[in-house]
Amino acid sequence: MESRRGQLLAVGTFPPETGRGIEAAAAAVGTTTRFIARDGLAAALEEEPLALLLAMDGPAAATTCLEIRTQPRSAAMPILGYSPRRGDLAFTELFCSGGDDLVEQGSGDALIRRLRAVITARSAASAAPEADRGIAVVAANDPQWRSVMGRALNGAGYSVRFVATGAELEALAAQAKVVVAADDLQPEGAAPVARRVRAAGSESPWVVVAPPKRMVAAARAVRSLVRVAPVDSFAPPENVLFVLNELISARGVDQRRSPRILYGASVAFRAAGRDEDEVGFSYNISAAGLYVRTLAPPDPEQQVWIDVWPPRSERRVRLAGRVAWRRLFGESAKTGVPPGFGVQLTDGLAGDLGRWETGYEELRRSMMGTLI
């Protein structure tokens, strides 16, 4: 019998013992589990499951995630990747496809905590205030890319409009609070449209998204335009939110001693004194802290231990800090950041805090002269 909380939909191939562990985790939060193959997904989504647990067992997983995000009814459904590994590549693959968090295979407690976060968010959905940050125009020919990017912007409180051509973008640009455009927008690319819109008087921030091989050309094309920045299309879509926030605040390159910088790396964290690590993914960092993406953030003011690979470093470091703030899954997104928590670093093992600061400083210097 299906729980009134909805089912956990487990998609892909799961060995019997693994499946039993997933069922036990779902039962612990008062819901049931349904296992299906990828070719049975469309019909199962009609039943509006509580969440989807996706076996990250090959390229088909990312394709499945993207296909789900193109369906309007499934845009808000949380997708958890279930992976035998927890490295940077696994997180990036999932986030770029529209997923929400990664669960390491065999970690029943981690799955329980994330399912509880989803249930809490569903219960509070009707009471949550709407974040209204204005219209975001997403311009690209690829409907899957538009859907994933639109979901990130919608989650940050924007009302999203989709267009597929430069002419459509130009017609809507005057209404836009922000614009996100593919650099190869048909028929002439995004940069010429941005120049015409600027000449017409619009000052809305623009992000031009380009694959790595075109990033240098994209940056050159918009260099003379104020509040326009390039972003790597192979990075998680939430990176666009970070850059938009920087452009909105008109800081460009932050002149503070320790500006925040985008940096993605897997992070093991635990409440101080606990036995087991959780796993998250860093979103941005400073010399004195970092923000960690996760659906299971620790409580505010809690002391935490962090294990992470600093930028430009040859070894991981173990750090201690305090949870300065957090954003829960489903909360109003006026902050414009994904669910997770911010850590103020206070200490480290055997010089590790100094190693973190050195790695941060090397990354900051390498990014001087850019908006990211």
Which amino acid, one-letter code, is at 358?
A: T
User: What value, to the nearest 5°, has the Cα angle with vertex 221 and ends 218 and 227?
Assistant: 90
The pLDDT assigned to 371 comes to: 42
Strand ranges across the sheet with 228-232: 159-163, 135-139, 178-182, 206-210, 228-232
Going by C-alpha positions, the residue among 278, 311, 307 that lies closest to residue 295 is: 278
SS in 3 state form for 248-294? Answer: HCCCCCCCCCCCCEECCCEEEEEECCCCCCEEEEEEEEECCEEEEEC
Contacts of 29 (CB under 8 A, 6+ apart): 5, 112, 115, 116, 119
Q: At 41, list the tokens.
A: 């997904």
Q: Are 149 and 138 in contact (CB under 8 A)?
A: yes
DSSP letter assigned to residue 213:
G
- Give the CA diameter of the chain: 62
Instruction: Indicate the SS3 state at residue 144.
Output: helix
Strands 228-232 and 206-210: parallel
Which amino acid, one-letter code, is at 56?
A: M
Contacts of 367 (CB under 8 A, 6+ apart): 253, 261
Q: CA–CA separation, 32 vs 216, rounded Å?
A: 49
Q: Which CATH number fits domain 135-248: 2.30.42.10, 3.40.50.2300, 1.20.120.520, 3.30.572.10?
A: 3.40.50.2300
The pLDDT assigned to 39 comes to: 85
Give strand ranges (E) for the chain.
Answer: 7-11, 32-36, 51-55, 79-83, 101-104, 135-139, 159-163, 178-182, 206-210, 228-232, 261-262, 266-271, 278-286, 289-293, 303-308, 317-327, 340-348
- Domain 261-366 in CATH 2.40.10.220? The answer is yes
pLDDT, tens digit only, all 372 positions of the chain: 444 568 999 999 999 999 999 999 999 999 999 999 988 888 888 888 999 999 998 888 999 999 888 887 888 889 999 998 888 999 999 999 999 999 998 888 999 999 999 999 887 765 444 658 899 999 999 999 999 999 999 888 899 999 999 999 999 999 999 999 999 999 999 999 999 999 999 999 999 999 999 999 999 999 999 999 999 999 999 999 999 999 998 654 445 567 999 999 999 999 998 888 999 999 999 999 999 999 999 999 999 999 999 999 989 999 999 999 999 998 866 667 899 999 999 999 999 999 999 999 999 998 765 444
Q: CA–CA separation, 313 vs 310, rounded Å?
A: 6
Question: Which CATH fold topology does 7-124 show?
Answer: Rossmann fold (3.40.50)
Whether 7-124 shares its CATH topology with 261-366 is answered no
pTM of the model: 0.91
Q: In the chain, where are the structural domains located?
A: 7-124, 135-248, 261-366
> Would you give the end-to-end CA distance of the chain in angstroms?
50
Q: CA–CA separation, 354 vs 320, rounded Å?
A: 12
Q: Are 160 and 136 in contact (CB under 8 A)?
A: yes
Q: CA–CA separation, 278 vs 267, rounded Å?
A: 8
Phi, psi of 187 (to 5 degrees): -100, -5
Beta bridge partners of 85: none
The pLDDT assigned to 252 comes to: 45
